[in-house]
Amino acid sequence: MIKINSFFALLMACFCMLPFSLDAQLSEPNTEEVYGGRILSITGYDRTPDTTRIYITTESANSAFYTDVSHNGSVASFGSFNVMPSMSAMANLGSDIHVAAVHSSGVFFFVKNNELYQTHADSGMAISLSHMGVSSITVRDSVLMFLAGNMLHFGLLDANGNFTEGINSPLTTSMGGMGRTSILVAASSKLVYLFEEGMAPDTAHLYKLSDSYYSLSNMTSVTNISTSGLSSVNWTSCGIGPDGGLFLGGGDFNNLYSAHTDNDTLWTEVNTGVQGAGGSNFAFSDTAAIYRVYSGKMYNAGNGDSTWREFGTTGKETHPNDGVVFHDPNFNDIVYMTTDMGLGSSETGGESIFEINDGIEAVQVKGIDMTASKTMAWVASKSGIRQVTNYQTSPTWSNAIYPMGDGSPYFSVGMNPVDSSTVYVGNHKVYKTIDGGANWVKVFSATDAPYNYPEFGDMGDITIASSIEVCPYDTNIVMVGYYRGDSLGGLFVTEDAGATWDQILIEASVDGIDINVRDITFYLDSIDTVAYIAAQYDSTFQQGRSVYRVVKTSGGWVAAQDMDAANTTVGYQITATIRDLSLAGDTLYACGTDVGNNHPIAYFRDLGDSTAKWDVMTTLGFPFIQGKKGR
């Protein structure tokens, strides 16, 4: 099989593998027509009375996209997305742009590393507005407002979207905590509200300004709206309905909560019963009398007073998730939301949802496993599992598959080389299918006893099954390598196709944390089954050095360092992070980064020659930026 693991990129046609040659030249890869990914923000404006331009930012090297949605009075047409020219992968803006807004001129404002920028779909350049520490922005008519620390800046945008800060800007506020912030404008009163999320046990902070958005000055007063009477949950979002009612949304990591008030004082709170963690904003239909409320993965058809329901009550392609929502400014029944696959929309006010991902090249691929004939492959990504069939002739890609239906990201995949319908996939758990993905069962997790790795840590989604490999010489043998971003992982094996599992100790002496595993490949050395393990070096624990050789013996699996002084042509232990291993015939290739300034490294060893050692390959011409983390 052909296998590619552990990289962060667009889904490229990297399946075409050529016999290795130092002189080989590869053509530029093509992007596969696999669309979707993690959506971080949604905004838009009405270009014409029957056309809305929608913008999204993504957790991808392609930072932002746009499309036009038109309506002829009876049918909506959703165009294919295009990458913003100044925010493509070549711009190197990265994948963490959560804050964005757009002006009617088409000028698009966004925040990168807390710095405010502007660009346009017709421009190849993003321009800094030279404001730092920005946490939120909003555009209302021709007024731009943004928070930088505890200072609210405001000013006018001309017809071309050029910003001139107001003479009385900025206004000192009481903001300045660590939570996400938002700037809100009441539709009727035009008054400005400021919100800062509250993570339990802290309460959310909500402030009301005394002046309308077009009359702000440094003399505008700021009044606190108390939220202390609300439940101790994580209040993550705020919105203002068409009638001026205030809404708060959040969750307790089990159920979603909503609270609203019509007088800024008395809150009506409800546990919606919808499971989730909480969305990041609210959106509303335009009718003040009876309007729909949208937040995260759910909607309410009666001003927040009726039953909250999850998007897609009457039909859906994939599940909605706790992301952002956006109501179409032209078409009252159209709403946009994030889904497990990418971007969803509804033409029925949330009751039925469908995917509109065409052109969104934002799938974060984490692993690929392909049959030797290159006709079928499985792909693990942060937006689910995908399968491609008939790859050599007429490729057919599946929609995103979620083994447990929960929208979790996936980081690794391993396919049985003699039965392509048997597949293992991993996040912090390992799932198995024996019928080509129709049904899945959990077969292992290092988060369970006796290993008890944490599912989450200080750095977020922290424990991941970073590599899965099915042994081609005995397909009952499957190895899973774990990586933990703030600690150490380990290597685990089953010899009965997933029924029972054991840990193979590499440097540790007892079960539990050991080394962070990045890749695994098998080799048949005479009659011995051997696994080569790529490790990430951890300077804190000083464990996990380059490559290990693990041999199956009658007494179990025996591990040894394979890049020590005796096994390298340089004559000393190679201490490095090896991210990927690739076996071509008897030659094993290893690539990664050193432990100093992260420059790329590559080695090879002829496993068929008992006297051969690991030797250095040139990396001359490889892209390298000092201090940047190797992927």
- The torsion of the CA quartet 338, 339, 345, 348, rounded to 10 degrees, works out to -110
* Mean pLDDT rounded to a whole number for the chain: 90
DSSP letter (8 states) at residue 27: P
Q: Which two tokens stand for residue 250?
A: 């959040």
Report the alpha-carbon distance of residue 27 to residue 458 in Å, rounded. Answer: 41
Reported as a pLDDT band with limits 50, 70 and 90, residue 2 is low
DSSP 3-state assignment of 77? strand
Reported as a pLDDT band with limits 50, 70 and 90, residue 10 is very low
Reported as a pLDDT band with limits 50, 70 and 90, residue 18 is very low
Q: What is residue 19's predicted lDDT score, i.e. its pLDDT?
A: 38
At position 170, the amino acid (one-letter code) is P
Q: What is residue 287's predicted lDDT score, i.e. its pLDDT?
A: 78
Kindly report, residue by residue over 338-370, the tens digit of the pLDDT: 999 999 999 999 999 999 999 999 998 999 999
Report the alpha-carbon distance of residue 51 to residue 66 in Å, rounded. Answer: 13
Average pLDDT, integer, range 215-228: 93
**In angstroms, what CA-CA distances link 77 with 51, 52, 69, 72?**
9, 10, 6, 8
Phi, psi of 89 (to 5 degrees): -60, -30
**In angstroms, what CA-CA distances link 57 with 86, 112, 123, 142?**
13, 11, 17, 22
Q: What is residue 203's predicted lDDT score, i.e. its pLDDT?
A: 79
Report the alpha-carbon distance of residue 613 to residue 565 in Å, rounded. Answer: 10
Domain residue ranges of the chain, discontinuous segments joined by +: 2-18+376-616
**In angstroms, what CA-CA distances link 419 with 415, 422, 435, 495?**
8, 6, 10, 17
Average pLDDT, integer, range 380-388: 92
Q: What is residue 408's predicted lDDT score, i.e. its pLDDT?
A: 84
Strand partners, 74: none
Give 292: exposed, middle or buried? Use CB within 10 Å, 0-12, 13-18, 19+.
buried
Q: What is the three-state SS of 291-356?
A: CCEEECCEEECCCCCCCEEECCCCECCCCEEEEEEEECCCCCCCEEEEECCCEEEECCCCCECEEC
Reported as a pLDDT band with limits 50, 70 and 90, residue 628 is low
User: Which one, of 18, 167, 40, 29, lies nearest residue 94 by Cα?
Assistant: 40
Q: What is residue 268's predicted lDDT score, i.e. its pLDDT?
A: 95
**In angstroms, what CA-CA distances link 71 with 78, 142, 247, 461?**
9, 26, 30, 40
Which of 211-215, 355-359, 407-411, 549-553 is least confident?
A: 407-411
Q: Is the pLDDT score of 22 beyond 60?
A: no
Q: What is residue 246's predicted lDDT score, i.e. its pLDDT?
A: 97
Q: What is residue 4's predicted lDDT score, i.e. its pLDDT?
A: 54
Report the alpha-carbon distance of residue 540 to residue 484 in Å, rounded. Answer: 13
Q: What is residue 200's predicted lDDT score, i.e. its pLDDT?
A: 61
Average pLDDT, integer, range 14-20: 36
Reported as a pLDDT band with limits 50, 70 and 90, residue 27 is low
Which of 88-97, 443-452, 456-465 is least confident?
A: 456-465
Please tell me the pTM assigned to this model. 0.86
Residue 207 neighbours by CB under 8 Å, 6+ apart: 173, 174, 175, 193, 194, 195, 222, 223, 224, 225
Q: What is residue 11's predicted lDDT score, i.e. its pLDDT?
A: 33
With a pLDDT cut of 70, the percent of the chain lying above it is: 92
Q: What is residue 208's predicted lDDT score, i.e. its pLDDT?
A: 97
Q: What is residue 597's predicted lDDT score, i.e. its pLDDT?
A: 63
Q: What is residue 48's predicted lDDT score, i.e. its pLDDT?
A: 95
Of 5 and 470, which is predicted with more confidence? 470
Strand partners, 100: 110
With a pLDDT cut of 90, the percent of the chain lying above it is: 78
Report the alpha-carbon distance of residue 478 to residue 100 in Å, rounded. Answer: 45
Q: What is residue 468's predicted lDDT score, i.e. its pLDDT?
A: 98
Report the alpha-carbon distance of residue 313 to residue 308 in Å, rounded. Answer: 11
DSSP 3-state assignment of 565? helix
CB atoms < 10 A from the CB of 623, how many? 7
Average pLDDT, integer, range 99-125: 97
Of 91 and 33, which is predicted with more confidence? 91
At position 81, the amino acid (one-letter code) is F
Q: Is the pLDDT score of 261 beyond 80?
A: yes
Q: Please state the length of the chain.
A: 631
Multiple choice CATH, 2-18+376-616, 1.10.10, 1.10.3470, 2.120.10, 2.40.128: 2.120.10
Contact present, 66 and 89 (Cβ < 8 Å): no
Q: What is residue 1's predicted lDDT score, i.e. its pLDDT?
A: 59
What DSSP string runs through 168-237? T--EE-S--SSS-EEEEE-TTT-EEEEEE-B-TTSPPEEEEEEEETTS--TT--EEEE--TTS-SSEEEE
Element (H, E) at 70: strand 64-71
Binning the chain into helix, strand and coil, the percentages to the nearest 5 are 0, 50, 50
What DSSP string runs through 258-278? EEEESSSS--EEEEEEEESS-
Phi, psi of 87 (to 5 degrees): -130, 25
Report the alpha-carbon distance of residue 598 to residue 596 in Å, rounded. Answer: 6
Reported as a pLDDT band with limits 50, 70 and 90, residue 28 is low
Q: Is the pLDDT score of 62 beyond 50?
A: yes
Widest CA span in the chain: 83
Of 538 and 26, which is predicted with more confidence? 538
Reported as a pLDDT band with limits 50, 70 and 90, residue 277 is confident
Kindly report, residue by residue over 291-344, the tens digit of the pLDDT: 999 999 999 999 999 999 999 999 998 899 999 999 999 999 999 999 999 999
Q: Which two tokens stand for residue 273?
A: 């019963």
Average pLDDT, integer, range 495-515: 96
Q: Which two tokens stand for residue 200?
A: 């339990």
Cis peptide before 623 (omega within 30 of 0): no
Phi, psi of 84 (to 5 degrees): -65, 125
Reported as a pLDDT band with limits 50, 70 and 90, residue 435 is very high
Contact present, 463 and 455 (Cβ < 8 Å): yes
Residue with tokens 């996990």: 544
Contact present, 180 and 236 (Cβ < 8 Å): yes
Q: What is residue 518's predicted lDDT score, i.e. its pLDDT?
A: 96
Which of 21-25, 54-58, 72-76, 422-426 is least confident?
A: 21-25
User: Which one, of 100, 105, 78, lies nearest residue 87 by Cα?
Assistant: 100
User: Which one, of 95, 104, 107, 79, lies nearest residue 41 by Cα?
Assistant: 95
Helices in 55-140 by DSSP H: which ranges? none
